[in-house]
Structure 1
Amino acid sequence: MANEDVWVVIPVYNEERVIADVVEHVRETFPNVVCVDDGSADQSAARIAGTRAHLVRHPINLGQGAALQTGLSYALARPGAKYFVTFDADGQHRPEDAERMVEVARSGEADAVLGSRFLEQAQSVPWLKRAVLRLVVAMSPTARKMQLTDAHNGLRVFSRRVAERLHISMNGMAHASEIVSFLAKSDFRVEEVPVTILYTDYSKTKGQSLVNGVNILFDLSLRDRG
């Protein structure tokens, strides 16, 4: 089966309205999906259980970074797993973009492939989110060093070598900057690929505010000082 060596990791927190549809859409392209229910208070786990995705549950909410690490650890233990996709649960990401990114990794051009909203279609990004994302890049030395255009895109592809060495310690949203920092300090080849984000009314309610963006930078500064 195509993409049998790919595992899609979806962190889930209170996404009962959309998660089953997201999973089924992803599985049309990628048969192997693991959802990490991060202590949801709604019926997210039950919706996932009704699909053919693998389900791992956190008994309490630990944060998206923790959910991603749990999912990557689970996927790494699956036989034949070579490529790992991180994918949001709110319906913003497109499986066809993920598939193109996997092909870049398969070609040997990159060990890590990061999706970017700004390489081709920045005009489709809501202005407040665009401001937050540009601020994060501008204030992040590692993002500037790597010349990234979109340091906080949740759509990523890692080779097995990258996934085995990546250990996410920032449980909350600051994990995205932690991943960029890890890649910047490594010898891995990193490529950005343009992707389209589907900003629905539902997904917009899940986005990061400007204050949260500043909080992410503050959390990272405290970690770096420690």
Structure 2
Amino acid sequence: MPVGSGPVKDVAFVVPVYNEAEVIRGVIDSLMAVTPHVVCVNDGSTDGSAAEILKAGAYLVDHPINMGQGAALQTGIEFARVLPGVQRFVTFDADGQHGVDDAVRLLTLLVAGDLDIVLGSRFLGASVGASRFRKALLKSAVRFSNMTSGIKLTDAHNGLRAFNRHVADTIEITAPDMTHASEIIELIARNGYRYREVPVTIHYTAYSLGKGQAGVNAVNIAIDTLLRKVGRS
């Protein structure tokens, strides 16, 4: 079924949520215009996120403690897989940085391009409100990922992705924290998924920048990625 002419039932959005009570209602409302299947994994939030998710009418899946974004994504994907009729999946950040129009475009290309997974790239598109330091840090992460993952991308840690049932059924994210983004890229290479990058726009606001990962986390991601590779060798 095409996307863009009204809500469709073969698409599920997976949204990891950690202390996003301030903005999550608006994010869910925008996604509900695409599909009724919005799966929010409340990853041990200590604010009113769970209540806001329920008020908005999304599926609420609770982690009793904070397990990290990677773990929340894996939980959400597993939940979305059992929803009746769902064949396409989108990972979507809870802080309002992603655009629903971009998500719809990824979904359309997923089918039209005979692909397994479509990845958003802010470096093919735009980063509105990002500092030079943040852009430089992200580009450094791209170079590191390209050296270690086995595939070449322009954006290594973009949370906006659309993928088909085959990926949902076979992907297994084991990195619980922010290193999951690097692991997903490694899994694309290892599992031979047909992929494509497309331009998207990331909107950085004072709120989202306050929630963003610090530079030290980029170092931790690099170290964890190397340890994973050593562990498999």
Return the TM-score normalized by structure 2: 0.92
Runs of at least 5 residues in structure 1 that lack an aligned partner in the other structure:
none
The one of 51, 54, 61 equivalent to 1:56 is 61
Counterpart of 1:118 in 2: which secondary structure?
strand
In the alignment, is residue 117 of structure 1 matched against residue 122 of structure 2? yes
Tell me the residue number matched to 1:131. Answer: 136
Q: Residue 83 of structure 2 is aligned with which of 65, 68, 78?
A: 78
Ranges in structure 2 where 5+ consecutive residues have no aligned partner:
1-5
User: Take 1:94 and 1:178, find their aligned partners in 2: how far apart are those partners?
Assistant: 24
Q: How far 1:101 moved relative to its partner?
A: 0.2
Q: Distance in 1 between matches of 2:131 and 2:163?
A: 27
CA distance in 1, matches of 2:148, 2:228: 17
Runs of 4+ residues deviating >6 angstroms = none
- CA apart distance, 1:133: 1.1
Report the equivalent of 2:212: 207
1:10 aligns with 2:15: yes
Amino acid of the residue matched to residue 43 of structure 1?
G
Whether 2:160 is the aligned partner of 1:170: answer: no
Task: Give the secondary-structure state (helix, strand or coil) at the position aligned to 1:121.
Answer: strand
What one-letter code is carried by the residue in structure 1 that aligns with 2:30?
H
Query: What is the number of residues matched between the two proteins?
Result: 226
Q: CA deviation at 1:5?
A: 0.3
Q: Does 1:90 align with 2:95?
A: yes
Taking only the aligned residue pairs, the percentage that are identical comes to 50
- 1:29-64 CA deviation, whole Å, 9 max, x = no partner? 222100000000111001111111000000000000
Structure 2 Cα separation of the partners of residues 86 and 52 of structure 1: 18
Match of 1:191 among 190, 196, 202: 196
Q: What's the C-alpha RMSD, in Å, of the aligned pairs?
A: 1.5
> Secondary structure of the residue that 1:103 maps to in structure 2?
helix
The answer to whether the Cα contact below 8 Å between 1:115 and 1:192 also exists between their aligned partners in 2 is yes
Structure 2 Cα separation of the partners of residues 124 and 16 of structure 1: 22
- Contact 2:110 2:162 (C-alpha < 8 Å) held by counterparts: yes
